[in-house]
């Protein structure tokens, strides 16, 4: 074998046992160092689409190196069970990765947060009982506090992510009003869990409380995410991502394992940044997303806003307008994902480009159900990524845009965010589509978006409503364009 690592293993096996152990521990530490470096490089390379796939390779190699290193250090492990666990895990993980449609990415992400948190909670629990069973208490109070926090975070993230998965997969209705005292219940659960954690920190031997901590965590996760729905999902998923990473990092504190601390901290900070971006993009705070409920009652009623001012158009009308214009901006929202319109949108994109029209896509940070959701769908439909523009970049150009086509987006293009300080979306940065010469909104009806408020854009002078299913409307537009040619 040409692999230097295997040569060293062979050498180590023939030398006396102690030397072998030293060599293995040394190899193990080296592998952790290499893995930590590769994980950091992996995220660095991910920053640009050109190098991003190299980042995935680096991550894979880092993970492999770390696992081999661990198996070398901890020779007492039951190799057969590790192998069985890995085979079962691969048999579940691989099909999920291979056959999952891109529209299901948010669900899969939520589910993977659940698995990550579950792994951390299980290992933390195993460690606690192990220390108890060996008879000598080796936890100092600080370690116990960390372990309690880790298990609490792990269990609440597990159920919270499962609920998020259920909602994204439509197994649980997205809009649940929540119990009348939902916040009181949530805070009591969290308060009780923290009290139990503190008690355990002071008295680590009170083992009867450990399962109580886990159960409280599981319930809190359930109650926390249950009333949160729809458009708040990007923030919730990012927060859960952060928690899952943090619990892995805390595990590293308990186990004195630096690699876990590093990898967990990287995941935790990534989730944190994404949550902050999502909150900023809605002008809301974490607490408002988690505990606040949207109140649409103070806003003008739909009748006042729309009354007789809404103009509707057919796909043929829109195609006639589109023929020969200079610049078109497409604004996708969650509705595009629901109606699976991304491939039809690609056809429209090609039709327009063939006519010499410049087409760009305006992506609001919270469009869809997770950060970057729209980009993945449009990339799947073969739309080049240099056509996908961020909000700040494209907003100034709406003034020079002939037609803005809004597909299944609502709150992110609602001018009330700017004009009505009482509306639930007040201060939220929006895509300024109203500045375009003509705005075409493809939507099934005038029903409100997640915020539950009417959208004056739909009644604007320069807006045409195309009432239809997103995909069907775009397909009809493409057909009409082809006919006109």
Partner 1 sequence: MPLEPKLFVFLLSTFLGLEVIRRVSPLLHTPLMSLTNAISAIAVVAAIQVMAEGNTTLGGGAKTFNTVLCTLGVIAATINIVGGFWITDRMLKMFRRETTDRE
Q: Is position 33 an interface residue for partner 1 (rule: CB under 8 A)?
A: no
Stretch that binds partner 1, among 11-19, 90-98, 295-303, 455-463 (CB under 8 A): 90-98
CA atoms within 13 A on the CB side of 242: 15
Torsion, Cα 375 381 382 383, to 10 degrees, reads -50
- Residue 205 in contact with partner 1, rule: CB under 8 A: no
Q: At its nearest, how many Å lie between partner 1 and the CB of residue 48?
A: 7
Asked if 327 touches partner 1 (CB under 8 A), the answer is: no
Within positions 45 to 64, which residues make up the interface with partner 1, using CB under 8 A?
A: 46-49, 52-53, 55-56, 59-60, 62-63
Choice between 18 and 483, CB closer to partner 1:
18
| Under rule CB under 8 A, residue 265 binds partner 1 | yes
Cβ atoms of 410 and 455 within 8 Å: the answer is: yes
Matching residue, tokens 């020079």: 400
Is 304 an active-site residue? no
Q: Which phi and psi (to 5°) does residue 441 adopt?
A: -110, 115
**Pair of tokens at residue 125:** 């629990």
Question: Per-residue string for binding with partner 1, 269-298, x by CB under 8 A?
Answer: xxxxxx--x---------------------
The binding track of 131-150 with respect to partner 1, each residue x by CB under 8 A or -, is --xx-------x--------
Indicate which single residue of 86, 137, 179, 184 sits in contact with partner 1 (rule: CB under 8 A). Answer: 86
What are the φ and ψ backbone dihedral angles of 199, each rounded to 5 degrees?
A: -60, -45
Nearest approach, Cβ of residue 251 and partner 1 (Å): 5
Interface with partner 1, residue 24, by CB under 8 A: no
Edge to edge, what strands does the sheet with 327-332 contain?
A: 388-390, 358-363, 327-332, 403-407, 438-443, 463-467
116 part of the interface to partner 1, by CB under 8 A? yes
Q: Distance (Å, rounded) from C-alpha 409 to C-alpha 402?
A: 19
- For tokens 């160092």, what's the residue? 33
Q: Which listed residue (411, 468, 469, 476) is catalytic?
A: 411
The reply to whether 65 sits near partner 1 by the rule CB under 8 A is: no
Of 105 and 279, nearer to partner 1 (C-beta) is: 105
According to the binding rule CB under 8 A, does residue 252 interact with partner 1?
A: yes
> Which residue's CB is nearer to partner 1, number 258 or number 291?
258
Nearer to partner 1, 346 or 444 (CB): 346
CA nearest neighbour of 220 among 245, 246, 191: 191
Choose between 9 and 255: whose C-beta lies nearer to partner 1: 255
Site for partner 1 in 331-390 (CB under 8 A): 363, 365, 370-373, 375-376, 379-380, 382, 384-388, 390
Instruction: Give me the torsion for CA of 305, 308, 309, 312, rounded to 10°.
Output: 120
**Cα–Cα distances in angstroms (integers) from residue 417 to residues 89, 425, 457, 463, in the given order:** 46, 5, 11, 18
β-strands 388-390, 358-363: how paired?
Answer: parallel
Q: Which residue has the tokens 């970049």?
A: 393
Choose between 293 and 385: whose C-beta lies nearer to partner 1: 385
Q: How far apart are CA 298 and CA 323, in angstroms?
A: 42
Position 89 contacts partner 1 (CB under 8 A): yes
């Amino acid at each position: 074998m040409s692999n230097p690592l295997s040569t060293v293993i062979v050498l180590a096996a023939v030398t006396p046992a102690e030397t072998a152990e030293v060599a293995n521990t040394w190899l193990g530490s080296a592998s952790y160092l290499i893995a930590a470096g590769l994980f950091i490089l992996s995220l660095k390379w991910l920053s640009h689409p050109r190098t991003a796939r190299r980042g995935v390779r680096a991550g894979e190699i880092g993970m492999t190196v770390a696992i081999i290193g661990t198996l070398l250090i901890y020779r007492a492990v039951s190799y057969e069970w590790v192998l069985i666990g890995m085979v079962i895990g691969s048999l579940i993980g691989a099909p999920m990765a291979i056959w999952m449609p891109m529209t299901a990415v948010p669900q899969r992400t939520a589910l993977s947060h659940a698995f990550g948190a579950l792994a951390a909670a299980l290992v933390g629990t195993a460690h606690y009982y192990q220390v108890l069973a060996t008879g000598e208490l080796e936890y100092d109070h600080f370690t116990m506090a960390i372990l309690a926090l880790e298990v609490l975070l792990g269990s609440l993230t597990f159920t919270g992510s499962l609920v998020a998965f259920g909602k994204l997969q439509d197994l649980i209705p997205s809009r649940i009003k929540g119990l009348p005292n939902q916040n009181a219940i949530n805070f009591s659960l969290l308060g009780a869990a923290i009290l139990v954690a503190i008690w355990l920190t002071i008295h680590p031997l009170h083992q009867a409380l450990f399962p109580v901590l886990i159960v409280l965590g599981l319930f809190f996760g359930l109650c926390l995410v249950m009333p949160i729905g729809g458009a708040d999902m990007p923030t919730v998923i990012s927060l859960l991502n952060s928690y899952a990473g943090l619990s892995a990092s805390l595990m590293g504190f308990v186990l004195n394992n630096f690699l876990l601390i590093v990898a967990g901290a990287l995941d935790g900070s990534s989730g944190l940044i994404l949550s902050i971006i999502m909150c900023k993009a809605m002008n809301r705070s974490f607490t408002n997303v988690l505990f606040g409920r949207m109140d649409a009652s103070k806003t003008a009623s739909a009748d006042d806003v729309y009354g007789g001012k809404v103009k509707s158009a057919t796909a043929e009308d829109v195609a006639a307008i589109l023929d020969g214009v200079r610049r078109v901006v497409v604004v996708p929202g969650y509705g595009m994902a629901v109606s699976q319109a991304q491939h039809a949108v690609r056809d429209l994109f090609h039709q327009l480009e063939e006519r010499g029209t410049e087409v760009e896509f305006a992506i609001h940070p919270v469009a869809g159900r997770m950060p970057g959701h729209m980009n993945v769908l449009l990339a799947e439909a073969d739309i080049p990524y240099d056509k996908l523009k961020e909000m700040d970049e494209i907003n100034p150009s709406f003034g020079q845009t002939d037609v803005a086509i809004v597909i299944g987006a609502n709150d992110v293009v609602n001018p009330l965010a700017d004009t009505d300080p009482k509306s639930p979306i007040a201060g939220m940065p929006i895509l300024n589509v109203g500045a375009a010469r003509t705005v075409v909104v493809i939507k099934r009806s005038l029903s409100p978006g997640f915020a539950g408020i009417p959208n004056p854009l739909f009644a604007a002078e320069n807006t045409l409503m195309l009432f239809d299913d997103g995909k069907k409307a775009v397909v009809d537009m493409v057909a009409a364009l082809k006919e006109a040619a």
